[in-house]
Amino acid sequence: MDEKKEVKVGDVVVWHESNGTPLNAIVTAVWSQTCINVVIVSADDSKTDQYGRQTERRTSCGYKDQNKVHGFYWRYPEDEPNPYVPPQQV
């Protein structure tokens, strides 16, 4: 992470779902520069109500460098996403 960047409440970041799908997210809380809470618009088309698509929250989200996984992390929009790594046989 670029040490000059400072994530703030209201910033737009990219959240990656567990399957790696990227979604725009708005920061709602900053616990540290690598741990935040976000709100996203649901990726599920069926989750709609009279106000439109429902929102979902993700809490204690780790920055992409904390885990080298392809999902369940946040990054800045200009950052490259983590590469896909297939599951390992045990």
pLDDT tens, position by position, 7-23: 999 999 999 998 899 99
Any idea which residue has 């599951």 for tokens? 87
Confidence band for 84, pLDDT divided at 50, 70 and 90: confident
CA 22, CA 20: separation in Å to the nearest integer? 6
Which residues lie below 8 Å from residue 6, measured CB to CB, with a gap of 6+?
33
According to the model, what pLDDT value does residue 21 have?
A: 94
* pLDDT surpassing 70 at residue 32: yes
Q: Per residue in 37-55, pLDDT tens?
A: 999 999 999 999 999 999 9
pTM over 0.85: yes
> Which sign does the torsion angle of CA 2, 19, 22, 38 carry?
negative
